[in-house]
Every structure is written in structure tokens, then in C-alpha cells.
Structure 1
Amino acid sequence: MTQVPTDPFDFIDYLQILKDKALEAGEEVIRIFIGTKMYVIPITGEALKPIVESNTELKKGVDYDFFEKWLGLGLLISTDDKWRYRRKMLTPSFHFNMLEGFVEIFDRESRIFVNLLEKHANTGEMVDLSPRIKNAALDIICATAMGIDLNAQGDPHQPYVESVEKFSVIGWTYNMNPAYWVETIWYLFGYGFETERTLKVLKGFTHKVIKERAEAFDDMKKNGQTFEKKRLAFLDMLLNMKDENQLTFEDIREEVDTFMFEGHDTTSSGISWTCWCMATHPEIQELVYKEIYDRFGDSDREVTLEDLKELKYLERCLKEAMRLFPPVPMVQRVLREDLKMGNKIVPKNAMVVIAPIVLHHNKNVFPDSMTYNPDNFLSEKISERHSYSYVPFSAGPRNCIGQKFAMYEELTMMIWILRRYKLSTTYKVHDNRPGNEAILRPKLGIPVKLERRN
């Protein structure tokens, strides 16, 4: 049996080789073993259909057990009645009217981001945008999730900022190395203690914010005041629901931390890879800039929700970047019963991996699967392929509840970046290898040169 690579960059390459061989043999699923765990990965939309459309096979896989230490049984990890109840309860939080208020925050933090880049413009130096984008996304998620100004862009070395990134790296290390599943070995190599220190920072930060916000919320209620509905942070919405939905302090913390985890790394990955695709495809970047210029001209005005709905070519470019480099490369379920996928019967207790990083590179669906081509998202192209051939936000009942939030944030940041700067690099698009952790990480970062547009 071939050894599965533990390096996150080699792992992606390994899966693509397995997928190509399976497609040539007419297969629709591949399987790998990590320790004694069997993972089954559908490689076609049709093979994926039974798992994403199931209303019973909703249980997340065992690899999420590590993240339960931080997130508890929030919407990402919970299952059955608890998941259904939480999903129904939280869906209104991502309603169009709520998102409109968030766009103002996306715009504000994006403006801060491009202003901070000003000192690097026209210098000829390479600047790694990746950590800067991540800090901007973290400021956005803190403002929208908890209603606070973290200022990660101004002070990127805060303990909370560093702990968010560290936890994902530790989680990958744990899940990919069976020896570390033995608690004694995990602690012997120091990872157990590092996990505890990281969790103390993460949970302590959120606990403090929720406690202070809840006290302020109670004071406002006593005085007959309410938060302005349009500008409610996610935490405020939960506090509003607290009594009606019988939410405990821990329930609220679970969902806030889940929103923080899912909504910051994923969007920063999507924005980073889109910047990379723009820098490596100057002719496409200029078409996007023209669309943006036609909308904004030389103005420095804010980005509005109406703007986001009009920039169709930029939207296609974002979607194509997520096809080549899906921010969440894979998610996992564990089967309760045998399930037919393609021409195989997958046994119960097997882990099924919904892997956009594999599905999006199916050459039978995307003939030039390694080429960055926004025309893949013309309506006529979309209609030709299976609806589950492209699933950057998963699909079915357990799809990403925050996908509109993510798209609006990414569009807003890309508008500000490209209206202010021209991006260039000496690398080719695939010189930058993607690595699988909780999110798809660029090995080189996003090294680009910045040239002022005006």
C-alpha cells in the first residue's frame, strides 16, 4: 500500500495523481488509508450526489474531533436534531438584509488594507499579500462576528491572531500522523501542551468578548434600548435569540467561534488565490479593471451592495480562482449505512471526503483543468456540466451557510485592490503549489509587485 504523504503540499499532488489514474480506468471514486482509517473520495459530480443530497448522512468525520476542542458542537460539527435546530435558527442571520450591513464593514477594512499597502507601491519590491489579507479578513470577521475592532492589520502579532493560524496547523499535524493519536506520544512531542496553550488564548479571548457584550446587551434592554438591526454583529443576533431559543453562554460561544473559524481563513484564502490569478494573468486582470473602472471611474467612493451585483466578470474570476484553488479543499462525513457512490458500495463507518480540490480538476468536466479561464463560468458552460462538479461551498443540506457572506467580502476586497493597484509577478500560476490544511494554503505566499493605478 502506498504511503500517504503527510506534507500538505505533497498530499494535494498525491490525490491528483490518484484521481487521474482512476478517471482513466473509468472509476468514479478513489480511496486512501491513513492508519486504520479508510477515506473514500468521489471524483465525479454524479458519484458525489448521494452523499451531498442525503438528509441522513450528515455526520462529520472523525478528523473534526480535534477541532471540537475549540468549536464545541457548533453548526460546523453538530449533527442530527441539534444541527437541524441550529441551522434553522441561524439561517436568518445570513439574510440579504443582514448582509447589507456587513458590506459597510467589508468596505471599511478593505480601504484600510489598500492604504497600508501604499508604502510598497512603485518600489519594485515583492510583497507577500497573503498574511496581510489574512489580517484584514480577521478584522472583518471580528467586526461582523463579535462587533469589536481587533486591529489585526495594525498589530498582526497579537496572541489571538497568531493562535488562530497555529491551531489549524496543529490540527493537520494531528490528523495526518497516526502515531500522534496516542495521547502519550502527542504530549511527548510537545503538541498536546501547545494545543492547550493555543486553546486557552482562543477561548479566553472569545469568552471575554461575549461576557462584555452580553453585559452591555442586558444594560441596553433594561434601559429599553436595542441595537440598530442593520448593523447587528453575529454575536448580537445570538444574544437577541438567547431567551427565545434557550441558548446558554456555551452555545453562543460555540457559534461565534465557528463563525470566526469558518469565516476568516476561508475568505482570506479565496482573496489570496484570486490575487495570485490576477497577477499571473495580466490580460484578465486588465479586463477586470476595466469593468471596475466603468463602475467607479476615478472616484474613491465606498463599495455598495448594488456594485457587487453588477460586476459579473469579477465574480466569474473569483469563481474560477475557487475552482483552481478551492479555499476549503475537503470536508468529511462518516457513513452510518452502506452507500452506493458511482459503481461502488461504500461501507458504513467509512469516511467520505467531499474534495473540491479533486472534483474541480476532473479533465472530463474541465478539459483544460489547470488553466485559469473565467469563461468556465459563462451560463452556457455551467449548464453543460453536472451541478456537483463545482462545489467550493459544499452542496446539499449541509452546504456553507455563509457562502453569500464570503462572496461579498471577497468581491469587495478585490474591487479595492484592483482599483488601486496593478498586480504583477515573475512567477507562473502553478509555480505556487497549494497545500491542504484546514484551508488551501499557497506555498510561496502571494508574492507580487504593486503599481499604483493613478
Structure 2
Amino acid sequence: MLSGLFNFLPRFSVLFQSVALGFIILVLYYIISTYLRMRRNKKLLAGVKCPEYHWFFGSFKFFPTDPHDRTQHLVDICNKYGTEQGYTLLWGILGIPIIVICSPRLMANICKTNEPKAKGLMGAYRFLQQWLGEGLLVSNGNKWARNRRLLTPAFHFEILKPYTNVFNKAADTLVDKLREKAESGERFETFQNVCLCTLEIILKCAFSYDKDVQNTSDTNPYIKAVYRLTDSLVVRFLNPLYYIDFIWYRSKVGKQFQRDVDFADSVAEEIIERRRETLLKEDTSKEKRYVDFLDILLTAKDEDGKGLSRLDIRNEVNTFLFEGHDTTASGISWVLYSLAQHPEYQKKCQDEIDNVFGDKDDLEWSDLSKLEYLTMCIKEGMRLHPPVPIISRETTKDFDLGDRMAPVGSIVQLNIWTLCHMENVWGSDHMEFKPERFSKDNAANMEAFQYVPFSAGSRNCIGQNFAMNEEKVVLSKLLRNFTFRLDPDHEVRRSMSAVLRTQTGMYMFVEKRNV
């Protein structure tokens, strides 16, 4: 027996040496190829105006640690370095170039391409993939094109029309909650309350999931999980060690991320299972409820009769559950914030809303196009505080920047936040709220791709009409019933993750209006 073991050891030693040699060769290949790539990138981008950076850790080593200060830092460096070039350059870890778009011209150039969402070493969508899988937000290529084609009918205007009733009812619930605050004189936190309202709306509109979200609790567990998930993505992006999955999933924040992903998946699975049961039990003799997003997910078929897999459906439910409530909550909250700062604009909105409502209790589909001034305020609010501040692509070939080529493998940031705050595009008053920027005359003179809050091109937001209609109804209901003013003792500070939120809340007071 022992002789057999001794006979095996030499063979094991040879095998170990072969594996070790293969590993060493692989590491050397990676080091050499990384060095050559870094050298090529530095050569192609030599002379580009950009902020300071570390040769290994890149530009983010010198970014402010405070989230609010980081958002302002981005604006400052783009206005300092990106005005003439139309872009500025940040360096990621290991010399990965990050091209930050600062001009409508370059925004148009990248939006018109089919370059994929960034999933490489520094690609934020790689971090999102565990949560949202290959849903529309994350997927690329044929996978994205197929799902986009199958899901587009869910956002036809005939499908969107009945949702107006859902918007009205959910907004009424929020109005009832705020009426108590008006009577007591107590301040309320805007984001949390609006987020519950928009979550209820997306559950009912997209999934016919009838649940009293707004009155069950002030801190819905799904909303809390989404906040942690998106905040975790920022933590991961700013720490190069967390790019390595082995380290990330063994860290405290990585373990919490996994728990939150599992919880989000369980919510999605519950929604899907309930609908399957409903479809089996529905009485075809009765009038059918409106067709919703989940109906289309479950019944969509290719030309060859092939539908979406169970995993595909769950990924899209997770995607639309997140994007369908968090982004609209951000948009509504920041518009209220701006109007609360400017009573004169708030009053103009209220006068228009009163006129459109007339003697009605609810807005109708046909009323939405009449809210012209409110629409101007919504657009300006989303310019000043874009709900989705940054989108990124990864170049599969050298990308033309005008004065040079960005090397293949570069991250190109469709940085909506910074483009909306370029002085040479919007003026020196770009940090001020001025709805008149979006009057018909001024809007007609804007450059194409100057204002892209929902992205643009083939990969624009599929739900942008849904979102705009929802914001119009919810804001109309709120402004018809209340006048909003900020809590002067609370400073609102921005926090940028997948969605633009606040660090410590947005507190306001409401006063009841007599209408």
C-alpha cells in the first residue's frame, strides 16, 4: 500500500508542476497584455485634458468621498476639461479609459451606435447583472433586440390609457396621507412617501398586483432592499478590490447584496406565480381587465412560437419593478423640491392644474396634453436632477471623438448628469431651476441630443411615456391639494447611484389648498 503511494507521488509532482507552469504562463500573459493595452491607451489619449489620476487606481482615488461633493466634482471637472473637447477623460483601474461625454454632438454619436452596455472589468452593468440578469437594462446584442421587440407592445398608447385611473387612485392615497401632515403641521420625508406611491403604481399597472403598499408601512422592505442594492453598487465601483467576485461576495456589503438579490427574486417570483394562477382561473365570459406588462411577458412569442423562459420573465419583472418605481419617484421628488424652492413657479403650475381639472376629481387621458406648464417644470426638474444620471457603453472598436480615436475597450459614459450642467450648453445658470428653458420656442432651438433624460437612440427608455404620464398625474394631484415648502432646518444633499436620490432625505411641509 505504501509503495503504491510512493509510486503515485512522482506522478502527482509532475502534474502539480504542469499546473503551476500553466498558471505562471497565464499570469505572465495577463500582465504583458495589460501592459501593452495600457501603453496603447496612453499613447492614443496622450494630451487629452483630464483631472489628476493614479497610474494604477485611476482618477477615482482623487474623487471626494462625500456623495454630494462627488456629484459636484463631476460637474466641475467636465466644465473645466470638457468644454473645448466635448468630452473629458477619467482613468479607471489598470489604465481603462472612461470617456465622459460633455457635448450633444458626442452624445448623439454614441447613442446612434449599437455599442453594448459596459460589462467589462469596470462595467457597472456587470455588477447589476446578478440582480437584473439579462433583462432589457443589462442585456446586449440579439438577446436585447429580441426582448425589446417582444415587449414593445406593452407600451403602446392603447395599453397606457387605462393606467391613468391607477395613477389617480394611487395619488389620492398619497394625498390622504399628506393631508394628515398638513393638519398636524408635521414635516414629511418626500422620497420615501413618493416611492411607496410609485411602487404601488408599477405593481398595479405592470403586474395587476393589487396590494395596499402605501398604508401597510412607511418603510416597505422591497424599497429598502432596492436602496441597499443600488448603494452597494457605488461601494463596489469605488473599491477596486471589490471588482474581484471572490472578494466581493465574502465582504460584509457583498453578502448583504446577495441577501437583497435573493429577496428581490422572491418578490418577482411571487408576482409571476400569482399571475399564472390568475390566468388559469380567469373567467373568459367576463369582461377582461386591461392587458398589462406581465400578460405580455407571459404570452409573447417569436415568429417560431418560442416564448420567454421563466428566467427571462423573472429578469424582466425585476428590471421593470426596479426601473418602474425608483426612477419615477426620483423624478417626482426632485420636481417637488424645485417647486418648493420657487413659490412663483409652483403657483403657475397650480393655476394651470386647477384649470385642467375644472370640476372633475380625476385627470383623464385627454387632459395630460393640456398640462403644458407642468410639463415644462417636469422637464426642467429632470434636467436639473436627472433620475438616471449615468449610462455607460463599452466600445468594441475605436470610437471617433472628433480630435482623436478612443481605443477599443474604453468605457463611454453617457453622463446625463454632467451634460445637463455644461455651462457652454445651458449657460452659467445651469444649476438654477428655470422652466422657461422648455417653452416651445426655446425647446425648438435646442440641439439634438442636448436633453436626453431617457437616453436616446435605439436603446432609449422603453417606458418613458408611461413615466411622463405618471409624473403628470401624481404631481397634479399633489399640487392641486397642497402647497409645498422645504424644511429650512434640513439640508438636502444629493447621492448618486443607479438613481439620483438624497443622502439623508428630503423633508418638506405641506399646506392644504382650498379648491
Q: CA separation in 1, counterparts of 2:152 and 2:449?
A: 22
SS at 2:424 equivalent = coil
Once the two structures are overlaid, the 10-residue window that deviates more, 27-36 or 80-89, is 27-36
Instruction: Give the 5 Å matches for 1:59-74.
Output: 59-61=117-119, 62-74=123-135
Write out per-residue CA displacement over residues 378-425 of structure 1, whole angstroms, 9 at most, x where no aligned residue: 122122221111110001111101000100011111001000000112
Aligned to 2:229: 167
Instruction: Give the 5 Å matches for 1:106-255.
Output: 106-156=167-217, 157-220=219-282, 224=284, 228=288, 231-241=290-300, 244-255=305-316
Write out per-residue CA displacement over residues 238-262 of structure 1, whole angstroms, 9 at most, x where no aligned residue: 2232584422211111111111111
AA partner of residue 213 (structure 2): A
Q: CA separation in 1, counterparts of 2:321 and 2:334?
A: 20
Write out per-residue CA displacement over residues 11-42 of structure 1, whole angstroms, 9 at most, x where no aligned residue: 21111111111245x22111212323431111
Two-structure CA RMSD over aligned residues (Å): 2.1
State the identity %: 33
SS at 1:121 equivalent = helix
Q: CA separation in 2, counterparts of 1:208 and 1:323?
A: 36
Q: CA separation in 2, counterparts of 1:204 and 1:23?
A: 44
Aligned to 1:384: 445
- Seen in structure 2, the aligned counterparts of structure 1 residues 110 and 349 have a Cα distance that, compared at 3 Å, is same
- Seen in structure 2, the aligned counterparts of structure 1 residues 94 and 293 have a Cα distance that, compared at 3 Å, is same
AA partner of residue 349 (structure 1): G
Q: CA separation in 1, counterparts of 2:334 and 2:385?
A: 7
- Seen in structure 2, the aligned counterparts of structure 1 residues 188 and 23 have a Cα distance that, compared at 3 Å, is closer
Is the 2:159–2:292 contact (alpha carbons within 8 Å) kept by the matching residues of 1?
no
Q: CA separation in 2, counterparts of 1:225 and 1:30?
A: 61
1:16 correspondence with 2:75: yes
AA partner of residue 264 (structure 1): H
SS at 2:508 equivalent = strand
Is the 2:389–2:416 contact (alpha carbons within 8 Å) kept by the matching residues of 1?
yes
Aligned to 1:40: 99
Give the alignment's TM-score, normalised by structure 1.
0.93
Is the 2:182–2:510 contact (alpha carbons within 8 Å) kept by the matching residues of 1?
yes
- Seen in structure 2, the aligned counterparts of structure 1 residues 382 and 118 have a Cα distance that, compared at 3 Å, is same
Instruction: Give the 5 Å matches for 1:272-291.
Output: 272-291=333-352
Is the 1:58–1:398 contact (alpha carbons within 8 Å) kept by the matching residues of 2?
no
Give the alignment's TM-score, normalised by structure 2.
0.83
SS at 1:336 equivalent = coil
Among 366, 377, 385, the residue aligned to 1:317: 377
Q: CA separation in 2, counterparts of 1:225 and 1:355?
A: 51
- Seen in structure 2, the aligned counterparts of structure 1 residues 320 and 122 have a Cα distance that, compared at 3 Å, is same
Displacement, 1:158? 4.1
Aligned to 1:89: 150
In our comparison, the structure showing a higher alpha carbon Rg is 2
Is the 1:217–1:239 contact (alpha carbons within 8 Å) kept by the matching residues of 2?
no
1:295 correspondence with 2:356: yes
Aligned to 1:28: 86
Q: 4+ runs of 1 displaced by more than 6 Å?
A: none
SS at 1:154 equivalent = helix
Q: CA separation in 1, counterparts of 2:360 and 2:315?
A: 39
Is the 1:60–1:79 contact (alpha carbons within 8 Å) kept by the matching residues of 2?
no
1:402 correspondence with 2:463: yes
Q: CA separation in 2, counterparts of 1:151 and 1:383?
A: 43
Q: CA separation in 1, counterparts of 2:75 and 2:409?
A: 25
- Seen in structure 2, the aligned counterparts of structure 1 residues 79 and 227 have a Cα distance that, compared at 3 Å, is farther
Unaligned 5+ runs, structure 2:
1-52, 54-58
Write out per-residue CA displacement over residues 209-251 of structure 1, whole angstroms, 9 at most, x where no aligned residue: 212211321344xx6568736x222112222325844222111
Write out per-residue CA displacement over residues 246-283 of structure 1, whole angstroms, 9 at most, x where no aligned residue: 22211111111111111111000000000001100000
- Seen in structure 2, the aligned counterparts of structure 1 residues 416 and 248 have a Cα distance that, compared at 3 Å, is same
1:58 correspondence with 2:119: no
1:308 correspondence with 2:373: no
Displacement, 1:58? 3.3
Unaligned 5+ runs, structure 1:
none
Displacement, 1:150? 3.3
Displacement, 1:184? 4.4
1:445 correspondence with 2:505: yes
Once the two structures are overlaid, the 10-residue window that deviates more, 186-195 or 347-356, is 186-195
AA partner of residue 289 (structure 1): Q
Is the 2:398–2:406 contact (alpha carbons within 8 Å) kept by the matching residues of 1?
yes
Is the 2:75–2:422 contact (alpha carbons within 8 Å) kept by the matching residues of 1?
no
Displacement, 1:300? 5.7
Is the 1:433–1:444 contact (alpha carbons within 8 Å) kept by the matching residues of 2?
yes
SS at 2:265 equivalent = helix
Write out per-residue CA displacement over residues 286-332 of structure 1, whole angstroms, 9 at most, x where no aligned residue: 000000111224x4611111111111000000000000000000111
Among 397, 414, 419, the residue aligned to 1:359: 419
Aligned to 1:4: 63
Is the 1:32–1:39 contact (alpha carbons within 8 Å) kept by the matching residues of 2?
yes
